Structure formats: C-alpha cells, structure tokens
Amino acid sequence: MTRPNEVEARAEALVSRMTLPEKAAQMMQVPYSTVTREEALAWARLGAGSFLHVLGDDARELQAAALSTRLSIPLLFGIDAIHGHGLNENATIFPSQLAAACSFDRALVQAMGRATAREVATDGLHWTFSPVLCLGRDTRWGRIDETFGEDPYLAGEMGAAVIRGYQGDSLGADDSILACAKHYIGYGEAVGARDACDTEMTYRKLREVFLPPFEKAVRAGCATAMTAYGSIDSTPFTACEKVLRGILKEELGFDGILVTDWDNVQALVTRQFAAANIGEASRMAAEAGNDMVMTSLGFYEAAIALVEKGLLDERVIDDAVRRILRIKLRMGLFEKPEKKGVPGCFACEEHLSICEALARESVVLLKNNGALPLNDIKSVAVIGPNADDIRAQYGDWTYFSHPLPDPAREPKRPYATVLEGVRELADESGMRVSYAHGCGILDGSEAELEEAVLAAQNCDAVVLVLGDTLDQHGEGKDRADLALSSAQLTLFRRLRALKKPLAVVLVASKPLCAAEVAQGADALLCAFNGGMFGGRAVAEAVFGRLNPSGKLPISFPRHSGQLPVYYNYLPGWHGGKYMDLPETPLFAFGEGLSYTRYEYSNLTFDTKTFLAAVDVKNAGGMDGTETVQVYFRDLVSSILTPVKQLIAFERVFLKAGDTKRVAFSLCKDDFSLVTPDERRVTEPGDFVLMVGASSKDEDLLNVTFTL
Ligand code: NOJ
C-alpha cells in the first residue's frame, strides 16, 4: 500500500496531468448490466473510474482497456455483496443484516465482513456496496432486511464491525475490499415507508437519530459512502450540499468517495423535477459533493460542458477525482489492479463455520410455554410455506433475486432449510418427520390445508414455518399490510385446533404482524433471512441442541396501523396509544428468551468514572449467552428526549448456575442530546441508567444519577 503522504502527492500529481474529459470520465461508474460489451469497453477506454455489476473475465477485459489509456488509471469494480458475495453462486450466503443484528455480536459480524471480502476480492472485485446504515423504523419499507434494525447505536456498532471486516487492517491487502456506508441518509425514514419518497425530517432529528451510524462508519475508516435516493424536507439528497459536502465531508472529515445511488443524477430531472435537464442536474450533484456518478451516463458530457462554459468550477471536479484516485492509491491498484484474494476461499470451511455460527446466534425465541425444546416425542410434523424454501430463507441480494436475478437457478449446496435441518436431527434420534406445504405465501388451496392437517394429526408435535417471500420485499416492494398473507392464518388456526404442541417459526425479511399467532402458539421463534444455515439453526433450537441467544434488533408491530413503532420514541400526551391497540409493540427491541433464565442484580453506576456494572446469573439449567443491554433516559431536558436510548451492550456466556459481573465503560457524551440549533450537548441534571435483558421496563434494573 502507498503511504499517506505519498498518496496525497501522487493523487495531486495525477489530477494536474489529467484533461477535463479524463477527469469527468473518472467520475463515472458504468453499469455493466445495462450497456453492451462494446459500450462498456468504450467507457473503459475513455477513462471511466468504475464499473458495477461485472464479474470475472468481463471485468478483466475492461481493466485491460483502462490500463491501456494514456494515464493507465485502474478501474474500481463494485458489487452488491450484501450478505456475502451472494450474486456469485459459489459464495457463502450469510444471514441478512437484520438477521445478523439479532446476534448483537460485533466480532462475528466483523468475521462475516472479512469472509465476504476474501470472496469478493478473489473474484477480482474491489468494492462492496455495504453496509446499509439506514434505520428500520417503519417496517412497511421493502428494504428492512438490509438494515441492522431500528436503533442508531446498534446499527453503528454492527456497521463499524462489518466495515472493519471488509476493509481489514489495510486497504492494500490482497483480501481487503472497500466498504460503502449507505444510503446516506434517512432513506429508511421516507414518509409512509414508500421507497425513496421525501423524508420529512428536521436537521436536529437527522443528527440525533440517523447520523450516529454514519459517524461511526467514518471513524472506522469506511472508504466510501453512497448518497440516498429521495429527499430531505423537499431537497433531493443528491443536491443537498449541507448533508453531503457540509456534514459528511467537512464536519465528519470523510475523505473517501461519495458515490450516488443508481441514476440519482438523472432522477433529479426525470423523477424529482428539481432540474430542467441533465446539465443542471450534473451541476447540482457535483456542487453538492457527489464524487462518483452511478449510471447517469449523461453526466460525463454535461460536466465537461459546464466547466467549459464557466458554469461549474473545475476545482469541484478536481476534488472529486482526487478522492477517487486517493482510494485507488490506498488500495495499491496502480501497482496491482487485480487483487489476488484467497484462492479456494469460496464457501470454504472457515467461511461456512462463521456463517453457521451467525445463523445460530440470529435465532430469537420470542415465546415459550415449555413446548420447546421438543423432547421425548416420536414424531413431528413440519408444515408451512417457508419450511422448505431456500429462496425465502436467503432473502434479497443473492443470485435468485436482483440485481442479476436468475430465479430458476438451482441453489448451490451446502444449505439447509428448516425441514432439512429437522430431518437431519430427527434421523439421529429415530424420530419420524412428516411434511406438508400447507399453503403458499401468495396463494393457498383447501386441498393443501387439508393435507397439512392430516400430516399434523399423525404426529406428536407441530413445527409451523410461516413468513414472507422474495416477492414481498426488496427495493420497490414496500407493503401497506404486514399481516400474514394468503392462507397462513387459516393454516395456523386449523393446526391450533388440533391441540398438539405447536411451535411457530417466522422465516421472514422483517417483523410481520402475527399477534394471533404469537398469542395462540405454544412457542414462537423468529428467524429472519438466516442464509445457508438458517434452517439448520432453527432445527437445532427446536430440539434444544442450541440455546437461543438472539435478541430483536427491531420491534414487532401488533398491526400495520401501529407503524412506525420503535422503543426509543418521544414521550407523548396520551401515552402514544390507539383506542383499539395497546401502546406497546407485540415484541420489543432487545427481546429474546432462552431455555435458561437470567437474573440481574446489584446495578451500580459511578458518575466519576462513568463505570456501570451489574451481576448477571444464569439461574436455569442450561448454559447460555445473554446480551446485557444498557439504556438511559434524560429525566428533564430542554427538548423532548426518548423514553430510553441504548448506549451499550455486551454478550456474556454463562454456564448454568454461574454469575458474572458485567461492566460497561461509559462517557458523558453517551447521555447527550441534539439541540434545535444542531449542537450535541449533555445537559446537567438527573438521568436514569437502565440495565437488563431487553428494552421493556419490566426487564430493566435502574439507578438514578445526577450530572
Ligand atoms: C440501488 C440500491 O439502492 C443500492 O443499495 C445498490 O447498491 C445499487 N442499486 C447498486 O446495485
């Protein structure tokens, strides 16, 4: 890798040698999926800076063309390796971000990033458009599965961890790739969860709730960021100088590449009607601080014309190009345009074991009246639309879905659906397994329902796997109604009527509205898109081979009409209640049971050292891992502050009967708020520190203190 001073000097020297067209081309990121091979080669020869969605020999051909240009500036290849390098069928498919967040496990999420980087680099690529640091607060949004959930602290911790994994110790390493903090900013907060609509948000709120994960990403050295679609208070993000150049680059000191999202520049003309033509749009986007332009190919000529006519300061272009070259130099691409990666690492044992561990930690037990684990039975019926559907289990961003979909492709082993996992484990103990589909996620028939009832009647217990499907989530697939679709509820009712032990598993991209199921089932497991081993992990939990330790990174609504619902809401006049719903969510942020019982006691907090500590005892009969969560509330503040806010968490392993004292080193800033004039301050006064097993009051010990 090139040393910092040398990087700056070389970038500067190159910029000064480049012609205006060369610089404008360097700002282009060309979509290989929507141009012809000849057009792509022409762009490479023009000196384009980057391509996205190109793999293997096609990428090599483009790189050779780029290297044969006057200045031989290497290309950057970007890909959506969102939960693993999933567009490549040989890759390890990890749990989705939302599933991974259930682990609250920084180290394992970092390991997932590392493994993904190795596979992406081995494919000759340099850059993943990950992680998503948007918050998932209105779960009707189609991209909830891509988030780390609803909380800024958790999203920041998970985001920083995966970024460290992708980028490794040095960007120059053969197995390091660029991370991309996206979508900057507030994308998930679009009104009504309608994808890319306006975000009606104040800057105060932006800084308090939505900026912290991006701040952490920048501190973790994230080399790139992506501008969100949409707008903030009617200003398109793409044209929002305050957000892009001001907050991200100048305030946070982000010195990497800010790339637009797909066609953002053109969309200023065609979707947002904020610019009359591509020239105006290009000027707005460049001035606002976008360095690289994804797919809006008209930017190239427009930018040249703008500078030539004196409508755009060439220094704006220079700054963008300098940033792009800086990253290419840091990656050592001028010396070695193609990374070696780690030959043989695709779905290797080490990567699979990280994938498996994360799948196991992402299973969340939400209810259990003692039905689980299933023991001492001779037969089990596995039923439901998602019991044996690997596509639903994987979720978005694999070779089955977009952006290079091939839904008919045969899934690559190894993987295990819930049914396969149950069969494997049942075989070991000689248990009989019956299976019935029961109904589809999008359709159902009486015959299927009857077949399911019959299968269940002949077994000692039922595992019913419900959820959603690829057609119900992803970009542009927001849902107005999150109730269980098709005949899923009918299927549940018919099976419930049999009065057999009934465990329900939700294999879904997001929290669905399943209040009746939660109430009526004997046990409920949440398994968001768990990747290759998601089904096996559920089976292990069902039979008690695994003591569930996952915690919800996101609240479960009782009803779609309750959305958005999240734990860190501002106190309201009438308790935030609808007349026909309790004010609480169905399941709250941080919730997650296990087959053992944890007891919390002896909470202390020292305001001089900011050290908090609590005793946690495994008071049950099974070893387990608990995630201890720390929240605070500012009791009286100059503006409304959340009823509680997570500021720390730690996973702790406890053998049955063991007690550990768990300590947290906090600081004054942890108790801060953002003032209406956008300053972060900690106001003097009284606070409550809360420590416990979830965000629910009844799960928290508390201590009051004064600052
Ligand atoms: C659009 C999506 O919003 C973004 O997340 C993704 O990285 C790009 N397309 C490239 O596929």
The owner of tokens 């920041």 is: 156
Model pLDDT, residue 502? 98
Percent of all residues in the chain with a pLDDT value above 70, rounded to a whole number? 99
pLDDT digits (tens, 9 = 90+) for 98-114: 999 999 999 999 999 99
Most informative mutation of 141, 185, 261 for ligand 1 (most atoms within 8 A of CB):
261
Q: Which of 86, 112, 157 is nearest to 354 (CA)?
A: 112
pLDDT digits (tens, 9 = 90+) for 410-419: 889 999 999 9
pLDDT digits (tens, 9 = 90+) for 535-577: 999 999 999 999 999 999 999 999 999 999 999 999 988 877 8
Model pLDDT, residue 1? 54
Model pLDDT, residue 576? 79
Model pLDDT, residue 572? 87
Token pair recorded at residue 499: 């009065």
Pairing of strands 76-79, 127-128: parallel
Cα separation, 336 vs 320, whole angstroms: 23
Residue 22 Cβ < 6 Å to ligand 1: no
Q: Which atom, in ligand 1's list, is nearest to the CA of 53?
A: 11
User: Does pLDDT of 300 surpass 60?
Assistant: yes
Cα separation, 215 vs 348, whole angstroms: 34
As a whole number, mean pLDDT of residues 194-206 equals: 95
Token pair recorded at residue 618: 């495994």
Mean pLDDT in the chain? 97
Q: Which of 426, 431, 435, 487 is nearest to 464 (CA)?
A: 435
Residue 567 Cβ < 6 Å to ligand 1: no
Other beta carbons less than 10 A from residue 186's beta carbon: 25
Give the DSSP letter of residue 343: T
Please report which confidence band the pLDDT of residue 272 belongs to, taking 50, 70 and 90 as the band edges: very high
CA 693 to chain centre: 23
Ligand 1 centroid vs 529 CA: distance in angstroms? 19
Q: In this structure, which amino acid lies at residue 645?
A: Q
Sign of CA dihedral 146, 148, 150, 152: negative
User: Does pLDDT of 37 surpass 60?
Assistant: yes
Domains and CATH numbers, the chain: 4-330 (3.20.20.300), 362-562 (3.40.50.1700), 598-706 (2.60.40.10)
Other beta carbons less than 10 A from residue 676's beta carbon: 10
Q: Which of 373, 357, 398 is nearest to 105 (CA)?
A: 357
Residue 261 Cβ < 6 Å to ligand 1: yes
Length of the chain: 707
The interaxial angle of helices 56-67 and 37-46, nearest 10 deg, is 30
Percent of all residues in the chain with a pLDDT value above 90, rounded to a whole number? 95
Model pLDDT, residue 577? 86
Q: Which atom, in ligand 1's list, is nearest to the CA of 78?
A: 10
pLDDT digits (tens, 9 = 90+) for 122-181: 999 999 999 999 999 999 999 999 999 999 999 999 999 999 999 999 999 999 999 999
**For ligand 1, atom 3: residue with the closest CA:** 261
Q: Which of 444, 510, 506 is nearest to 477 (CA)?
A: 510
Cα separation, 423 vs 410, whole angstroms: 21
Cα separation, 238 vs 259, whole angstroms: 10
CB 25 within 8 A of CB 303: no
pLDDT digits (tens, 9 = 90+) for 245-265: 999 999 999 999 999 999 999
Model pLDDT, residue 628? 98
pLDDT digits (tens, 9 = 90+) for 606-651: 999 999 999 999 999 999 999 999 999 999 999 999 999 999 999 9
Q: Which atom, in ligand 1's list, is nearest to the CA of 402?
A: 11
Model pLDDT, residue 407? 67
**For ligand 1, atom 4: residue with the closest CA:** 261
Q: Which atom, in ligand 1's list, is nearest to the CA of 82?
A: 7
